[in-house]
Structure 1
């Protein structure tokens, strides 16, 4: 389905689906409200048919019915994705064609490989890019993996890839949130890996980060992690390595030898982390998101914290947290 067409016969100005004309928007909205519009009404807006927003009623061709917006959007995005794939395939073929020609031209004019920052769209392509980079890696994988509700299958799917890396003599260091210290899927993953793999945890971590052999890094470029950025710029990769090393220094060992965090005056480490965010004025939902917990669990911990400190209200709880000294204990432990 083309993104842009010319409708000279109808006098309709050409435009893309992302710039739907006002007449098209109005007619499509009317079709959605009424369930259908007459074919004659759509003569002046052929874009609605071409973009798949209206389709003929099979039982009566005098009418057009609207395609649900979610369905139409999915089709249009799929077409965009297909074009991107085709362009990338064309890019690969061009590189392959000119590679042999550049060899004939000799090293005199062959350009040096340039450091790059590349956007990768789609989970499948992201995983493929990571797998291809890991296949050539031999030294070290640094990973930060925030909680995102992944199931056992998705947590385990990279097990073979990482084991092959360890078998080549590589080293893996991973940082998770404290909430995953007892996750069956995470624990099982590292129990199955053989080699130099080490895991630590923190209350809060930054977004997902992979650094491979300290030369290539992958970070998310969208909140749903369906778009990623592949970084091969040495200065930026070195900066991300420094960020990882700082977090690794503050993190608590989990595997292969776990270090248990102590309670302070009957208040658990998780409750101290929640207390720190409460003092900063965060909502229960924001606290849950930052600590990788669900809101119900956060509220249970807040209730226990209030009972331990003898608080009778949310406002009083903040005051009692400040007086208790538990946040100073949390800061000392992180240092």
Structure 2
């Protein structure tokens, strides 16, 4: 029962009867039969004795369990005949090297299943699109917190790479303030698309722009390649948690401006630079203006020349 239902049932037991309208906020009492119309007055409800109600609920529970067992037997019988048709080796049939998952509910269920069997580490790359404020996103983030904490409680290690733009997002900061265990995070100027790699043996990658379809990868060559890619990014990334390190800025050029300078020299537009570095166009233009002011540039063409002459692209960016 819900909390409101429990309190109302206690009140009904003490008072003997209740007005029927009082149960509108606790329909579970009527659904479970713990309150029933009075024979003397149909506008009032009276409680079923707790012992009777308990036996009734236990009987319903037993019926549901028996129904699930019958369903399991039917599924096993159906799939036994299907497995006789499928002549592939059992391991290949059960765990294909590549598979498509459709729908966020199915994707989250597959990730949860993989993490429940994980024993060592989970590697993640999160993008600027990973933290939304929608109701669905909040529920998904709460699910991910429970899932990740359970993994950490089993002694696992969690490593996550974010773009620099997420270093100060409250949801990201709160995540690491709440997680307990070996959880580490670092940031980069530019990251790849989202990645979740479990025990270096199963990976989840987005298969469409809206992240409604995911690719589940279990091929050792591909998961090994992804793990190597992640390790390289991790070595280049700036620590964020447990100990945050601010990127150095030699000669007044920040790490973010240096990354923008590289893309400017390559000829990218402001929009493309913003997309590559996970920021909006207005923020990218502010950084470009600051870079131009620092180098004394009067035009876009001159800025490219001054970037090349300044030597800032020869300086090493922040890494550990």
Higher relative contact order (CA 8 A, sep 6+): 2
Does structure 1 conserve the Cα–Cα contact (< 8 Å) formed by 2:131 and 2:171?
Answer: no
How many angstroms apart in 2 are the aligned matches of 1:119 and 1:287? Answer: 31
* 1:278 and 2:256 are equivalent in the alignment: no
What secondary structure is seen at the aligned counterpart in 2 of 1:305?
helix
Aligned equivalent of 1:231, options 194, 206, 217: 217
Partner of 1:138: 119
CA contact (8 A) 1:155 1:185 kept: no
Partner residue, 2:42: none
SS at 1:298 equivalent: helix
The aligned counterpart of 1:117 is 98
Q: Which residue, 284, 303, 314 being the options, matches 1:317? A: 303
- What displacement does 1:236 show? 1.3
* Residue 250 of structure 2: aligned partner: 264
Identify the range of structure 1 (124-133 vs 155-164) with the bigger mean alpha-carbon deviation: 155-164
Q: Does 1:97 align with 2:77?
A: yes
Q: TM-score, normalised by structure 2?
A: 0.69
Q: Retained in 2: the 8 A contact 1:155–1:186? A: no
TM-aligned CA deviation for residue 234 of structure 1: 1.5
Q: Is 123-132 or 194-203 further displaced after alignment?
A: 123-132
Would you say the 8 A contact 2:271–2:281 is kept in 1?
yes
Give distance in 1, aligned partners of 2:226 and 2:206: 13
Give CA-to-partner distance per residue, 1:114-163, whole Å, 9 cap, x none: 14200111112111111121122222110011111623525454111100
SS of the residue corresponding to residue 160 of structure 2 reads strand
Give the Cα separation in 2 of the matches to 1:251 and 1:94.
52
- Answer yes or no: is the 8 Å Cα contact 2:238–2:318 preserved in 1: no
Q: Could you say if the C-alpha distance between residues 96 and 287 of structure 1 is closer, same or farther in structure 2, counting changes exceeding 3 Å?
A: farther
Shift in Å, 1:181: 1.1
3-state SS of 2:155 partner: coil
Q: Which residue in the other structure is 1:47 paired with?
A: none
Distance 1:93 1:256 in 2: 49
Deviation at 1:286, TM superposition (A): 0.8
2-side partners of 1:155 and 1:277: how far apart?
Answer: 33
Please give the residue correspondences for 1:239-254 in structure 2 after superposition, counting only pairs within 5 Å: 239-254=225-240
Does the CA-based 8 Å contact 1:156-1:185 persist in structure 2?
no
Deviations 1:56-110 (A, max 9, x none): xxxxxxxxxxxxxxxxxxxxxxxxxxxxxxxxxxxx999733666799x9xxx99
Aligned-partner SS, 2:230: helix
Whether 1:302 and 2:288 are equivalent positions in the alignment is yes
Report 1:189-200 matches (<5 A).
189-200=175-186
Structure 1 gap ranges (5+): 1-91
User: Shift in Å at residue 208 of structure 1?
Assistant: 0.6
For the 8 Å contact 1:102–1:110, the answer to whether it is kept is no
Structure 2, unmatched stretches of 5+, are: 1-71
Q: 1:172 aligns with which of 158, 167, 170?
A: 158
Question: SS where residue 210 of structure 2 aligns?
Answer: coil
